[in-house]
Amino acid sequence: MLTAITRSVTESIVDCELTFLPRRHIDVSKAIRQHRQYEECLRRLGVHVISLAPEPGLPDSPFVEDVAVVVDELAVIAAMGAVTRKPEVQSIEHVLSLYRSARYLNDSATLEGGDVIQAGDSLYVGLSRRTNREGVDQLREAVSPFGYQVRAVKVSGCLHLSTGCSYIGSNTILANPDWVDVSRFDGFKIISVPRSEPWAANAMLIGDTVIAAGAYPKTRARLEQQGFRVETLDISELEKAEGGLTCLSLIFDSDKPAAVL
């Protein structure tokens, strides 16, 4: 069974970290409703959702994807690139310990889960404002004993690799080529988002359904033309906090036991 860790939105989201977006008014009540609809969508698609208690003092805490990289055999706990986000790790680390053995990065590394995209036994890791080369190297050291290949991908113009591209199944990457080096995805089919919808490349695959943000109808049309089943969600207020669909959950297969290290 797929399990998703999520965390509720609080009023403090208005004080979120922003890197590539200007600060705009966030309708907190609407953001809370959108987050609940997101959780309901995951449940409807068969995902077991663990909704953690809110952290009012941590504005970016709903973006739980960033705090770990979880594969079948272990969880690599992130070394957050944003200093203000480091306290987010503790409670999620505790929940993950029920499912996976943990590995940690040393102080020379920065790595956020939003910079990691998994496609089979390949982990593509963004070199971004939040993840450095040492973070990539230490992740490789942690997962390579289990047969995973780690490949670095240069990111520019957006916060994380997952902001600029997503693996959506069927050997396909949805991408904004202006923000990520798609040449690193050799052997994959690339579906480029329209230039009028640059933020549309963050999507997530649950079963046979691609969940996409509702603000990008041209991207949805492209996906459906290529045979993908698409469901859309309105996350407009969460996008103002530089968040995307994948940011809002940390998803892993809870049927597969962690390795004994």
Q: Catalytic residue numbers?
A: 160, 247
Dist CA 41 CA 47 (whole Å): 9
Can you read off the two tokens belonging to residue 53?
A: 């208690």
Of 59, 217, 69, which is closest to residue 135 (Cα–Cα)?
A: 69
- In terms of C-beta density within 10 A (0-12 exposed, 13-18 middle, 19 or more buried), how is residue 196 classed? exposed
Q: Is 65 left (phi over 0), alpha (psi -120 to 50) or beta?
A: alpha
Q: Per DSSP, what are the bridge partners of residue 75?
A: 70, 102
Q: What angle do CA 102, 105, 141 make, to 5 degrees?
A: 85
- Beta-carbon contacts of 59 under 8 Å, excluding residues fewer than 6 positions away, are 10, 12, 13, 14, 15, 16, 17, 241
Q: Which residues contact 101 (CB under 8 A, 6 or more apart)?
A: 73, 74, 75, 258, 259, 260, 261
SS3 letters across 5-51? EEECCCHHHHHCCCCCCCCCCCCHHHHHHHHHHHHHHHHHCCCEEEE
β-bridge mates for residue 111, sequence order: 79
Please check whether residue 38 is in contact with residue 233, taking contact to mean a CB–CB distance below 8 angstroms: yes
